[in-house]
Amino acid sequence: MADADIIRSDSNGLATLTLNRPDKLNALNTRMFELLGEHVADIAKSVDTVGCVIVRGAGRCFSAGHDLGAIGEGESGAQLNLQATVIEQLANLPQPVISAVHNHCYTGALELALAGDIILASANARFADTHGRWGLTPIWGMSQRLPRRIGTYKARELMFTCRNVDAQEALSIGLANVCFADADFDNEVQKFADTILANSWFSARANKRLLVETDGLPLKAGLAHETYRNEGHAPDVDARIAAFAARKA
């Protein structure tokens, strides 16, 4: 539905979830997370038809963050727990998740973007954690995912100063994986997703599971987990190798 606060579109194995409150700069409210949670739950069960997921924003930006109006109206703790839970479910999808960020990506929006395995930034992207500016503390994962992505001391800097980080700095500190020119952003994001989809979906899911399950383990324990909890070969491994051999012949 074109008027839904979250729009899902599927094409050739790619599921795109679009934050769709462009008149409000895609400010995040409870209804958006309810809808997002429904889509994420369905995608988690659709590993045969969905091989990659993109989260992006409609209109001028990815998202300006948590809707301050909703905070002012007194969101309940249960509602905030819903939003944190949905972000966790998004992060734990079996498929690779890409956060495609253009323009504003502030605070709650950054917590949402950090649920992605990969963050792709447009050159005009701006990131910030502004919890401290409003006298708030994170509840959707900022204190855990931001330092894991950029390091604890850089995370402290951004969380204490509440300053904006542009796309090039985001790239340099590892917050963004790749930065694309604004005019090319949509096409480059699609090409990036197509590169993932061209590879084995089975392998992508298995690799993601290993990375998630061994995060924080000592090296010896992680290596043992990889050896003994490995999912083995994809069903189409023989066909893929045969196709490669045929091209070389």
Per-residue pLDDT tens, the chain, 249 aa: give them: 455 999 999 999 999 999 999 999 999 999 999 999 999 999 999 999 999 999 999 999 999 999 977 766 666 556 668 999 999 999 999 999 999 999 999 999 999 999 999 999 999 999 999 999 999 999 999 999 999 999 999 999 999 999 999 999 999 999 999 999 999 999 999 999 999 999 999 999 999 999 999 999 999 999 999 999 999 898 988 888 888 888 876
Interstrand relation of 178-180 and 118-122 (parallel, antiparallel or unpaired): parallel
The token pair that represents 111 in the structure block: 């917590």
Instruction: Give the span between the Cα atoms of 167 and 102, in whole angstroms.
Output: 9
Find out whether 59 and 118 touch, Cβ atoms under 8 Å: no
6-198 architecture in CATH? Alpha-Beta Complex (3.90)
The token pair that represents 130 in the structure block: 């502004």
Longest dimension (CA), the chain: 68
The closest alpha carbon to 120, from 150, 104, 99, belongs to: 99
Give pLDDT, residue 77.
55
Give pLDDT, residue 69.
77
Instruction: Give the span between the Cα atoms of 143 and 110, in whole angstroms.
Output: 11
CATH 3.90.226.10 domain range(s) in the chain: 6-198
Q: What is the pTM of this model?
A: 0.94
